[in-house]
Amino acid sequence: MALPYEWQLRVNKIKVFFHRFFGGNEEAPRPKMCPACGTLVGVSATRCHECGTSLTFSLAAAGRGVSGLFSGRAPATTVLLIVNFLMFAVTLVSSLQRGTSLGLMATMDGEVLYRLGASSPVAIFYDHQWFRLVTAMFLHFDILHIAFNMWVLWDIGPIIEEVYGSARYLFLYTITGIAGFLLSALRGHNAVGASTALMGLIGIMLAITTKRGGAAMKAERSRLILWIVIIFAWGMASGLNVDNWGHFGGVASGFALGRIFADRQPTPGNEMKRAYALGWLAAVIILVSFAFMIWHVRDGLS
């Protein structure tokens, strides 16, 4: 039976004293911190005495471990940026190998985009390739397409991530992106790009401004609405292949989720556990979707 935390501290102090007195210089074990609620627990504890979280393995501990690999202001946003640029590099190399001549405004090879998981109504609804609703978020037509989308992601992603925490942010990003491509596919569009999820983040920001009062929030809400109107107007008037249905699905789902989720960091305990569970759910959805995409590429090449 483990000693109470206070007594463990006393015993450790006595051990350190005698260890140093007899010439030892190794650092004594230190108390642990629960990854879910932040409570200090004993050095030999295997479970938090406050919230019951396992200290040997838990979603919260695993989540913090992954975040530590990408330490900084916005680790989830950083990972999303890296994956987007890696997928663009793969698309670029594959397009060049197929003989596509690429300039600043030239689009990637359509067959390559399809093989790498572009959204396609026929493939999704008739061949049941649902992974495309996810993988399409990480594909882009050309350099300007990815440059603009990644600039927007780096501009507003850290804001949302700071409000909701990295785990819930990744969940919101993934779900709004899926919702955007689902509506786009239902309307018969073939599409790629991170803009469905980015519009989801804008919808979340709009929802936040409706739940918070004050002149600053009102002004921010007006700017967001103007931004959304400009994006849709540009999509209709530019003559480019802009997927406004995907944008609408993203912003609508983002607004709905923004109204549901509390616009703050999850509190320690059960809420923190649920947040990490949602984050890992999103991560699994992304990883499984990429696994199906890789299987599809290999199957298509065989």
Looking at the annotation, which residues are catalytic?
195, 247
**Residues paired with residue 54 on neighbouring β-strands, in sequence order:** 47
What tokens were used for 226?
Answer: 């103007």
CA distance 149 to 166: 20
CA distance 61 to 95: 40
Alpha carbon 105 to chain centroid, angstroms: 28
DSSP letter, residue 54: B
Cα angle vertex 66, ends 83, 147, to 5°?
Answer: 25
Check if the beta carbon of residue 172 is closer than 8 Å to that of residue 254.
yes
Sign of the alpha-carbon dihedral angle for 148, 152, 153, 158: positive
- Specify the long-range contacts of residues 229-234, CB closer than 8 Å, at least 24 apart: 231/199
CA distance 243 to 261: 27
Q: Which stretches within 136-214 are classed as H helix?
A: 143-164, 166-186, 195-211
Angle between helices 195-211 and 166-186 (to 10 degrees): 120
